[in-house]
Structures are given as structure tokens and as C-alpha cells.
Amino acid sequence: MMAGHATIREQIMGKDFRRVATPDEINKMTQLVEQAMNEGAIGLSSGLEYDVASYSSTDEVVAEAKIAAAHGGFYMTHIRDEGDKAFSALDEEIAIGERAHIPIEHSHIKVSTVSVWNKAPEYIRVIEAARKRGVDFLADCYPYDAWHSNIKVIMPDKQYENPASVEKALRDNGGAQNITITEFKPNPSYENHNIADLAATNHITPVEMYIRIIREGDAANTEAEVIGKSMIEPDIKAFYQQPWVMVASDGGIGSAHPRGAGTFPRVLGVYVRENHWLTLPEAVRKMTSLPAQRIGWKDRGILREGAIADLTLFNPKTVLDRSTFAKPLELPTGIEKVFVNGQLVWDSTKPTGARPGRVLELTHNP
């Protein structure tokens, strides 16, 4: 488990979180980080793009990260902006790492608005410069050109009912047709339709449709879940070809995004076998020993005598994802057997029923 920055922030500030924290409040937050690390947390996580955390100052995050670093933890972050302000958000992330002397795990690296498309090489150069300065920087990436989050996340200025701001946000994401509603309890009829189609059906503009969805959600104290198709393949390729970028799904089974069921087979089947972006050994390293390295596991993520037998046997000639945005729960092909702690849990096409997994606690060595 990670100590969650936003969770801690809300515990101290309550509903009055839409501002910069005071020094006294930050001190109380660091005490909670200390408590969390003593209870077995392996680091500090943050989601600076999201509501509670987005009002925090860099100093606040640095103060908490220093506590995690003192306990041998790392800093895992969804940075403040992955679109127009992606570079300034990256600079902040690196500054946190340098000031707190803490290793960084950049969650699902991307450049995800039109203005930063094709800028992955430039983004990579900034990171490489930091790594040369001694910043312990790793990242993860999922193999899809679309993200999954809430509908408000496309509005970094939080002006959800300002037509000009909404129009810019939709344009930045490649157009209203790129934002599809996956879940909306106040009006389920919106689900599986993009904002452009919903606007046409309701005889209003996409901007008006977005604002309608916001108002309906606010009235019900909820938000629409959406999938946004706003990344491009050359950028995804550039990130995956960096030795410090691992494979991760940012999803789970049961989610409306195909990454929950398809991430790892997609990398092996499409990016390795079909596209030749990566060698097979390198792809496996990005899925196993590299994430284990970040967490600090010495006996997992590697195949050797004496290590924990968490093993996947797959056919490199047939492994492939089958999940799609229309059918996100379809299981992949080519996964023959899976072992957890040395016990067979998946055999050919079905689970065995064995559940040998256990909760792991990491011993910190600052």
C-alpha cells in the first residue's frame, strides 16, 4: 500500500481543501505520512490532476515526500497535467524528486492533448537530463491511445460550465467525438455514446452537451465516467522504447476500458510480435523485474532458483489481447499457465480455484 496524498490532505483539511495548505496543516499531514510509513506503506502516491490534490502546493508534496524518503519509500505520481501543461507538470515532478531525495515512479506516462502530440522525444529528453543528474526516475505506460477517468478531468481550469473553456478542452482532446461516456448513473442512456453523438441526438452543441452532463452529475453528486481517445501511436512507441518505462495497465478486470483484460498480452502480441517495437526479453523485463526493482522486491520478478515462483507460461506465437472498447472483458489468447507462489492458478482456459496469494509487507531499509 502507498500513503495517499489526497486522502491525507482531506483528513486534515476536510471539505476546505480548495486552497493552499497552511504550514501547520502541512505539518499535520507529514505526521500522517510518518504514521503510514510506520504501518508498512511503501511510499507516497499523489494524483495532482484530481480535485482534492490539485490545490496543493509543490512545497506541501515535497514535505510529505521527504518523510516517505526517510523510510526508504518512493514517490508514485499522476502528475498535475498530462496535456497542454505536461512539461511544467513534469518539471514539478522532477523538482519534488530532487528536493525530497526520493525515487520517482511516473504513473502512465503520456502526452495527451493535441498541442503536445509528437512531443514524446522532447519529454524524454527532459527526463534523461534529470536521470543524468542522479534522479531515480522510472515510469509506466499502458498500450492504448485512450484513457479512462471522470469527465471533469479534461478541464484543467475547472471552469466546467464556461462555454469557452469547454470548447477549448474538447478541441484539445481531438474533438467531442473522442470523449465517450462509459458510466453515468443519473442518465444511463448516455452510456456508450460520445459527446458529439449525444449532442446531435439532443439537437444541441457538444459544448452544451458537456455542460448538461456536468449539471446532471452535480445534481446527483456524481460524475460521468469517460474514455478519452487523445494519444497517438508515435508517442506511445517512443515511451515504450525507453529502458526506464515499464508496462502497467492503469486498469482492472471489470472496468469499461480494454486495458483491464488486455494490457500485457497486447504488448506481447502487438508491440513485440507484430510491430517489433521491443524484443521479447525486454518486454518481459518491463513487466516483471523492472517494477519489482522499483518496489524493492529482491525475490520476485526474476526467474532463478530460490526466488518466489510467480510465473506465467505463454505462447509467444499466439499470445494476443481480445478485449476491445466495445467488449472490454474479453480474455486474451496464448496464456497457458499462471503460477502464484508456486501453485497453479490458471490452466489453459480457466482458473483452477487455488488462491495462494498473500498480503506482502515490505521491510524498509532507509
* CA distance linking residue 96 with residue 320, whole number of Å: 38
User: The dihedral of CA 41, 262, 190, 196: what is its sign?
Assistant: positive
Q: What is the pLDDT of residues 170-180, one digit of tens each?
A: 999 999 999 99
pLDDT at 362: 65
pLDDT at 363: 59
Residue 319: name the closest of 303, 307, 302, 337 by CA: 337
> Which is the CATH superfamily of the domain at 3-141+242-248?
Metal-dependent hydrolases (3.20.20.140)
Strand partners, 350: 347
Placement of cell 448516455 in the chain: 190
Strand partners, 47: 78
The residue ranges of the chain whose pLDDT is under 50 are 365-366
pLDDT at 252: 86
Reported pTM: 0.94
Placement of cell 499523489 in the chain: 46
pLDDT at 167: 97
Strand order in the sheet with 311-314: 311-314, 335-340, 343-347, 350-351
User: The dihedral of CA 300, 301, 303, 304: what is its sign?
Assistant: negative
Task: Please list the residue range(s) of the chain that carry CATH number 3.20.20.140.
Answer: 3-141+242-248
* CA distance linking residue 171 with residue 309, whole number of Å: 48
pLDDT at 365: 46
Amino acid at 349: T
147 C-beta neighbours (distance < 10 Å), count: 23
pLDDT at 23: 98
